[in-house]
Amino acid sequence: EAGVVQSPRYKIIEKKQPVAFWCNPISGHNTLYWYRQNLGQGPELLIRYENEEAVDDSQLPKDRFSAERLKGVDSTLKIQPAELGDSAVYLCASSLFGISGYTFGSGTRLTVV
Amino acid sequence: DAKTTQPTSMDCAEGRAANLPCNHSTISGNEYVYWYRQIHSQGPQYIIHGLKNNETNEMASLIITEDRKSSTLILPHATLRDTAVYYCIVNDGGSNYKLTFGKGTLLTVNP
């Protein structure tokens, strides 16, 4: 089993530029999550998908963040334009009907300069 | 979700048992206790979860008090690779399944 795959692993961009993160969940997992983790803090949920439907996006800053999960499999999280405060690790996780725990990817470390 | 309280940091000697406490005094009857850990530069990793009975798997044991207001994660023989931040999370595991992470406990296993 490949696990949850995220890319890129690291990204450095200038402020006001766009950036996108990609996530491939574990095969068959219907639930996909995007979390953001600031330095020294625990991960915070941004959005949760059940198949292709975003069922909880209450914490997603919708003015600059967007996400999609086409065909209920891979997902992309986008920021446009990026701000200095967006520097963080962006984590993707998947689960099967939310039971028995999530599986997280290794994350994308974003640095906005 | 019920709130949890964990110590900020703990130390443990290699080969000894690591006992990580968690208080969740406002836990409700249908809420589970989950433990995750996060090794540096990796995503969080599921360890174990339980409702009211003690649980054990290949990674750890979970001891939940009878009143369910606190629990302890036990790593029976800690190794240097167990150095990580350990998160205790309470959740009902239902349709609104969403893990809310606090700051966790940084466990440092010393040689």
Helix H, strand E, coil C: the string for B38-90 is ECCCCCCEEEEEECCCCEECCCCEEEECCCCCEEEEEECCCCHHHCEEEEEEE
Local confidence band at A2 (pLDDT 50, 70, 90 cut-offs): confident
Chain A residues whose CB is inside 8 A of the B94 CB are: 98
Q: What is the mean pLDDT of chain A?
A: 93
- The pLDDT value given to residue B100: 86
- The pLDDT value given to residue B96: 58
Q: Express each pLDDT in B48-101 by its tens digit.
A: 999 998 999 999 999 999 999 999 999 999 999 999 999 999 987 665 567 888
Binding-site residues on chain A for chain B (CB distance < 8 A): 4, 31, 33, 40-45, 48, 56, 91, 93, 95, 97-107
Hey, of A9, A58, A102, A103, which one would you mutate to test binding to chain B, going by the most B CBs within 10 A of its CB?
A102
- Measure in Å the smallest separation between the Cα of B4 and chain A Cα atoms: 13
User: Across the interface, do A102 and B44 touch by the CB < 8 Å criterion?
Assistant: yes
User: Across the interface, do B44 and A41 touch by the CB < 8 Å criterion?
Assistant: no
Chain B residues whose CB is inside 8 A of the A41 CB are: 103
Q: Express each pLDDT in A26-72 by its tens digit.
A: 998 989 999 999 999 999 999 999 999 998 898 999 999 999 998 88
With 0-12 / 13-18 / 19 or more C-beta atoms within 10 angstroms meaning exposed / middle / buried, residue A35 is buried
Q: Does residue A99 have a pLDDT over 60? A: no
Name the region of B14 (left: φ>0; alpha: ψ -120 to 50; beta: rest). beta
Determine contact, residues A88/A37, Cβ cutoff 8 Å: yes
Amino acid sitting at position B10? M
Hey, of B6, B34, B98, B100, which one would you mutate to test binding to chain A, going by the most A CBs within 10 A of its CB?
B98
CA distance B7 to B105: 6
CA distance B86 to B103: 9
